[in-house]
A and B are shown apart, each in its own frame.
Chain A
């Protein structure tokens, strides 16, 4: 979709005066059946995931895998050298599986370390970050999304998207400064 001046349209966006207004608007957009849309706020709004029809984040799955990886790495790292490659007899104690308690601290630390790194990077990947630019930044009012204002954006690639319906929906839900945001 293009504007008369030939710019490709990214989305139609509106600004809302408060978190409460954005929350109500999000519920209406969800109920209207849109799929490719988003809200932007300076802080996470409690209950907004439900208002947008999003489920619980599945980030815990990769983090669990990361933790298991760290735990297995620690088992290999401690038993490998201490039992097989380079057995050191300390305090006359055995070097086989019975020495496991002495390795618990390292197993714990590596589990946490790998889980934490997975958590951070999986969060970025799942969010499509880092990215250098985003079409929504073409809208000058949008710089307040990280300060004190609230935005709702319906993307043009949404299968249900028509300019008229989107504008009407945003207007009815109390959106202000309704704007066509260009792709580039």
Chain B
């Protein structure tokens, strides 16, 4: 019991548990850990000395972030001409990156809100990190529509502010809906995340050794003291926020898809877009959650909390949403053929055999439509390397998919005289890489200074949290230091 649990152990535990009682479930936290073990292990990550790898990783990612910020500054100073986009490809990597990041930002709130309403208790060990990931991904996403307008200092025109020109935004434009949808999504996700953090910040406050930590955690813990009169309203607030966030998650990528679907560009003008985009966002978002949590779980030895069972369930969600996405791909092709519209048919023919053919074959077909099918096999879902490989494929595939939808539909205009290609410049490339730096820097700061797993929620799923639980003889919960509870 040194903190590691292997796949065969979990399978064996599952089999053992089902002998007497076929409906028995594998516990969500393995090895009969106690409340204080949960606190020690999770808060210990924040309280221990900063590990050397953290400094290395943070230096690299903040350097990459700095390069990205430099590129943004250069683009703002010189103009959007430093990017490779031009007629006919007026939207290229900027909007691809926007849709890519905002899609990643869907998994967090899906896990925290929808799985909460569906009473999926396994979400407790991954929701905090996934929500943080959501916020950081939305920050990365918001950069692109912000700067792609060119004259960034005019971006306030997007907001309905009375001004001396007497001009108002067009409230019937999906681009304006997008402003409302993304900013609402970000604000509500911050509130939801912070609400969940309050009890855990109080734990860190009560354990803080230095004055400065006690002060800072104390301020953000708002004086939380675990009172049941407070828990009563707190739990209701959490439930209501989950209820409000659930339609919100589904709305954000629907609104993003309206940016395309309400246009008349072949390849964009389809009614399938909202559900197609939402499924793709959840698909890509879960892949990113796995990409971040598989290493984090290994580094911080959180195998008892983020068990093989959790990874198994996330792999199944990837399999499901991947098939929804594949169905949408197939249906797009069918409708293009069935519509009898020359331009529509050509756009999709061009996807497979046109100049961007390999984006489709590698990105959409191999990465998104084929690799998730490995997850039909239990052995594959329990093989951490396979899961990591598939999640990396999906991360890449979802970026390619957005590129194909955006650039693939634009580069062949209605008239062959207006055809063109898109070639990224170094500014395009480094701005995109830079957002990964921003994302990773923020995520590293998060795992260093905030509890990456919701301690108070994990404690609820332990059997001792039940008010009718009585310790069976000889089964004392294992304490952090190996001591019996006194």
Tell me the nearest residue of chain B to A105, going by C-beta. B177
Q: Give the contacting residue for B467; candidates A42, A48, A102, A119; CB below 8 A.
A: A48
The reply to whether A147 and B203 contact each other, CB–CB distance below 8 Å, is yes
Residues of chain A lying within 8 A (CB to CB) of residue B231 = 41, 44-45, 48
Chain A 80-97, CB-CB to B under 8 Å as 1, else 0, gives: 011001101010010000
Residues in A18-64 with C-beta less than 8 Å from chain B: 18-20, 22-24, 26, 38-49, 51-52, 54, 56-57, 59-60, 63
User: Among A1-9, A131-139, A158-166, A167-175, which stretch is in contact with chain B?
Assistant: A131-139
The number of chain B residues with a CB under 8 A from chain A is 70
Distance from A104 Cβ to chain B, minimum over Cβ atoms (Å): 9
Residues of chain B lying within 8 A (CB to CB) of residue A113 = 184, 187-188
Distance from A89 Cβ to chain B, minimum over Cβ atoms (Å): 10
Residues of chain A lying within 8 A (CB to CB) of residue B469 = 18-20
Residues in A74-129 with C-beta less than 8 Å from chain B: 77-78, 81-82, 85-86, 88, 90, 93, 99, 102-103, 105-106, 108-110, 112-113, 115-117, 119-120, 122-124, 126-127, 129
Count, A-B residue pairs, CB within 8 A: 218
- For the complex, give the distance between the alpha carbons of A115 and B187 in Å: 12
Q: A120-B241, A133-B223 are in contact. Are A106 and B171 (CB under 8 A)?
A: yes
Q: A109-B180, A129-B222 are in contact. Are A81 and B241 (CB under 8 A)?
A: no
- For the complex, give the distance between the alpha carbons of A42 and B228 in Å: 10
Chain A binding site: helix, strand, loop or mixed by DSSP?
A: helix
Tell me the nearest residue of chain A to B203, going by C-beta. A146
- For the complex, give the distance between the alpha carbons of A58 and B327 in Å: 44
The reply to whether B467 and A120 contact each other, CB–CB distance below 8 Å, is no
The reply to whether A109 and B184 contact each other, CB–CB distance below 8 Å, is yes
- For the complex, give the distance between the alpha carbons of A144 and B181 in Å: 41
Q: A40-B226, A109-B181 are in contact. Are A20 and B468 (CB under 8 A)?
A: yes
Distance from B65 Cβ to chain A, minimum over Cβ atoms (Å): 29
The reply to whether A119 and B251 contact each other, CB–CB distance below 8 Å, is no
The reply to whether B171 and A40 contact each other, CB–CB distance below 8 Å, is no
The reply to whether B226 and A112 contact each other, CB–CB distance below 8 Å, is no
Is A68 an interface residue when CB atoms closer than 8 A count as contact? no
The reply to whether A112 and B234 contact each other, CB–CB distance below 8 Å, is no
Residues in B456-486 with C-beta less than 8 Å from chain A: 456-457, 459-460, 464-471, 485
Q: Give the contacting residue for B172; candidates A48, A99, A132; CB below 8 A.
A: A99
- For the complex, give the distance between the alpha carbons of A8 and B78 in Å: 68
Residues of chain B lying within 8 A (CB to CB) of residue A88 = 168, 170, 172
The reply to whether A116 and B191 contact each other, CB–CB distance below 8 Å, is yes
Residues of chain A lying within 8 A (CB to CB) of residue B464 = 18-20
The reply to whether A112 and B244 contact each other, CB–CB distance below 8 Å, is yes
Tell me the nearest residue of chain B to A108, going by C-beta. B251
The reply to whether A59 and B35 contact each other, CB–CB distance below 8 Å, is no
Is B34 an interface residue when CB atoms closer than 8 A count as contact? yes
Is A65 an interface residue when CB atoms closer than 8 A count as contact? no
- For the complex, give the distance between the alpha carbons of A112 and B470 in Å: 42
A-B contact list, 23 entries, CB within 8 Å: A20-B470, A38-B228, A40-B227, A42-B459, A43-B457, A46-B465, A54-B232, A57-B236, A59-B233, A59-B236, A86-B168, A88-B168, A105-B174, A105-B255, A109-B181, A112-B184, A119-B237, A126-B233, A130-B222, A134-B223, A142-B225, A145-B206, A145-B225
Give the A-binding residues of B (Cβ under 8 A): 34-36, 39, 160, 166-174, 176-177, 180-181, 184, 187-188, 191-192, 194-195, 199, 202-203, 205-207, 222-237, 240-241, 244-245, 247-248, 251, 255, 258, 455-457, 459-460, 464-471, 485
